Structure 1
Amino acid sequence: MAKPLILVTNDDGITAPGLRHLIRYLKDFGDIVVVAPDSPQSGKGHAITVDDTLFLNQMSVDEGAQKEYSCSGTPADCVKLAMRELLDRKPDLCVSGINHGSNASINVIYSGTMSAAIEAGIEGIPAIGFSLCDHAWGADFKPAEAAIKRIVAESLEKGIPNGVILNVNIPNVSETELKGIKVCRQARANWREKFDKRQSPSGKDYYWLTGEFELLDNGEDTDEWALAKNYISVVPTQFDLTAYHAVQQLNEWEL
């Protein structure tokens, strides 16, 4: 039987250490094909390229993957191009990451890492997004290796439910400090944002986005709670955004 085909992508770019570690962790699970952005695409969400050309460049960064391609587009573009132009069969799994920084709680909305995984889910591919709660380029991904392999092994063996994408976040702690893995719900939170207004030498105003993360949820079943307690959080997410609980109420309107 053919080995499982695993599509690997990310939003930090094809040379990002998190992606390189992920490839090494997954290489024994099957045939690895990498399609990742040629430059950082953090915070791109589910953006796709509709008014510009797209380029693919086959390359070889290090061992572990059967084929690697850099893409000039967004993370979602990477998955679309992989499916339509590069792969001769449907992947058994798509894994996105390992992201440099948390994608827990409301961050999942903005995440290019998770959007790539969600795009795969839309295509009917079981998909996982992995993120480490450390933005540093030199972040230590080693403590998460065993857990990542366990989650991938279970996903391949038992299957991820249809229409579900796993959002996995890993606390920035040592291997001995990791307490385990918890299946959670997404915490209710938002960003209190503001813009740092500055002026260029020519007198033109420009802005830098800043803000503070505001947790609005005291539940002990959330991803943010799990991470704070040194657990890896696994949140089953979906791309069906219908608010089913509101359908009956809206049907009572005089429309």
Structure 2
Amino acid sequence: MLPEVMSKGKKKEKEPVILIVNDDGILAPGIRALVEAVRGLGKIVVVAPDKAQSGMGHAITIGQPLRLTKVDVFDGIESYQCSGTPVDCVKLAADKVLHKKPEICLSGINHGANHSINVIYSGTMSAALEASIEGIPSIGFSLLDHSVEADFSAAKYYVRLLVNELLGKKLDKHFCLNVNIPAIPLELIKGVKVCRQAYAKHQEDFEERIDPAGKNYYWLAGEFVSFDKKKDTDVWALENNYVSVVPVQFDLTNYKLKTELDKKLHFDIRKR
């Protein structure tokens, strides 16, 4: 049974349940920072991969067993490690751990950016989007620093600010935000910008190398390039020391193209 908060003269209110997941693994510094950032705002339950799962996108485990093990990682916080993907963690959490939908699902804090096209590949954001699909409001958080020694101070400040604000509001069940925090000291961050996703991508270069056995292999390299120079994007916001907040959704329908096709194309299934 969930703890209840008593207010004089008011009806009992159940403590909100906050599900925390990630893709860097349950021992990553980023998820510990996320737990610390929202401690005290509700009943926290952590379900995270037992190993790093970066770049897994929306993958799910099929054809092999999933393991879910209770662990003691965060002081006083109910926590489980899962052998599957970030999306598996959300599914198992809702069905086998909580047996209900939490008030909110928080994913991260990811080590590295998840702005622009990265949202497609990101295990962090796929976990958040899976929660949204399941009717659980969600937020994915990322810090623009891949280092295990990254300073999460500013990220923790903005995480708590946003979560505390949103827990007090009635959110759409498919609510989902992609939040990225620049890797700079808190005092240098100018504030929060609500943005759109920039048109940017990785210009890949597969380097061909030779392994010790003399066989060829390939190593993904290249650089990240933005083709979008407008000032309303997540890339611009982050480059200019703002926290970027992008509302995202799992509906990938191109509605503009759909309208055009409805006018131009006339299919008759009787004609072969």
* TM-score bucket (shorter structure): over 0.9
CA RMSD in angstroms, aligned pairs only = 1.1
| Aligned twin of 1:163 | 174
Contact 2:237 2:243 survives alignment (8 Å): yes
Distance (Å, rounded) in 1 between the aligned partners of 2:84 and 2:114? 21
Distance (Å, rounded) in 1 between the aligned partners of 2:192 and 2:181? 9
State the secondary structure of the residue aligned to 1:238. Answer: coil
Q: TM-score, normalised by structure 1?
A: 0.97
**Which of residues 59, 67, 85 in structure 1 aligns to 2:96?**
85
**More displaced stretch, 170-179 vs 83-92:** 83-92
Tell me if 1:206 matches 2:217.
yes
| Aligned twin of 2:187 | 176
**Which of residues 46, 66, 70 in structure 2 aligns to 1:58?**
70
Q: Which amino acid aligns with 2:82?
A: C
Report 1:1-255 matches (<5 A).
1-65=13-77, 67-251=78-262, 252-255=264-267
State the secondary structure of the residue aligned to 2:246. Answer: strand
Distance (Å, rounded) in 1 between the aligned partners of 2:172 and 2:198? 21
Post-superposition CA distance 1:200-224 (Å, at most 9, x none): 2323221111121010001101111
Contact 1:94 1:120 survives alignment (8 Å): yes
Distance (Å, rounded) in 2 between the aligned partners of 1:21 and 1:146? 10
- Say which one has the larger Rg: 2
Distance (Å, rounded) in 2 between the aligned partners of 1:85 and 1:19? 21
Contact 1:27 1:64 survives alignment (8 Å): no
Distance (Å, rounded) in 2 between the aligned partners of 1:200 and 1:18? 33
Shift of 1:254: 4.3
Shift of 1:159: 3.6
State the secondary structure of the residue aligned to 2:213. Answer: coil
Q: Which amino acid aligns with 1:168?
A: V
Stretches of 4+ aligned residues off by more than 3 angstroms: 159-162
Q: Which amino acid aligns with 1:126?
A: P
Shift of 1:89: 2.4
Gaps of 5+ in 1: none
Contact 1:48 1:77 survives alignment (8 Å): yes
Q: TM-score, normalised by structure 2?
A: 0.91
Shift of 1:145: 2.1
State the secondary structure of the residue aligned to 1:8. Answer: strand
Contact 2:136 2:175 survives alignment (8 Å): no
Q: Which amino acid aligns with 2:49?
A: P
Gaps of 5+ in 2: 1-12, 268-272
